[in-house]
Amino acid sequence: MKHEEANKEIGSRGAEAPSSRGGRGKSKKSNPKSPIPNPQSPVPNPQSPAPNLDNWLEIGTIVSPQGLSGELRVYPVSDFPERFEVAGKRWLLRSGDTEPQPIELLTGRYISNKNLYVIKLAGVENCDQAEALRGCKLMVPASDRPQLGEDEYHVLDLIGLEVFMQASGELVGTVVDIIPAGNDLLEVKLHPSFATDKKQKTVLIPFVEAIAPVVNLKSNRIEITPPPGLLEINN
């Protein structure tokens, strides 16, 4: 599954994440099993207007300078390497701003063992200028979604889909999140009529073709064929 989340590219969850069903689609870069923590955001001024990000996707957060020449380390919330490696216009959202401002990406490279990109932005020439951008968000327009391959889906498109048992047509629940793992997991909030244990609120369902053979975005529907016991394993 690739990510560009809502207001993040997987995608407000803010990340760009395409998702592919295991065994068919392939992500360009898998999500880290143990990502570094997101930097703590500064406490907002309650009098400051909140950013209007409905038309934007967050692709990463600048976490620190890299060296002395103005390079920046970026923690990605996008699974599309071209967001950080292909030169061109990006947008920078500074703390306290309500709209991101355009900025030019010059170069970028991936550091695999740290799940970070190192990028160079136009006009950032030294460590002090880079330090001033710590905590800023990198953004792209929401309309600028990369094309996905067969059996790949944007996380934002999967969240909210209703999940049904294919054999019986019974409503299982609604997808509320996508959890990156070896195979991505659908976190499904159980419909009250389906939950046998009323204390169990959600289940995790592997997003693989054998278990989720039907994904119909137009019908807002996923059909599943879980093996016996899968839906109770979370108890």
Q: Along the 235 residues of the chain, how does pLDDT read in single tens digits?
A: 555 554 554 433 344 566 666 644 333 333 333 333 344 434 444 455 566 677 888 999 999 999 999 999 999 988 889 999 999 999 999 988 989 999 999 999 999 888 899 999 999 999 999 999 999 999 999 888 777 777 778 777 899 999 999 999 999 999 999 887 777 899 999 999 887 777 789 999 999 999 999 999 999 999 999 998 888 766 5
Instruction: Say how far apart CA 194 and CA 69 lie, in whole Å.
Output: 58
Task: Report if pTM > 0.85.
Answer: no
Q: What is the pLDDT of residue 14?
A: 41
**What amino acid occupies position 224?**
I
Instruction: Say how far apart CA 208 and CA 22 lie, in whole Å.
Output: 4
Q: What is the pLDDT of residue 80?
A: 87
Residue 218: CB partners within 8 Å, gap ≥ 6?
none
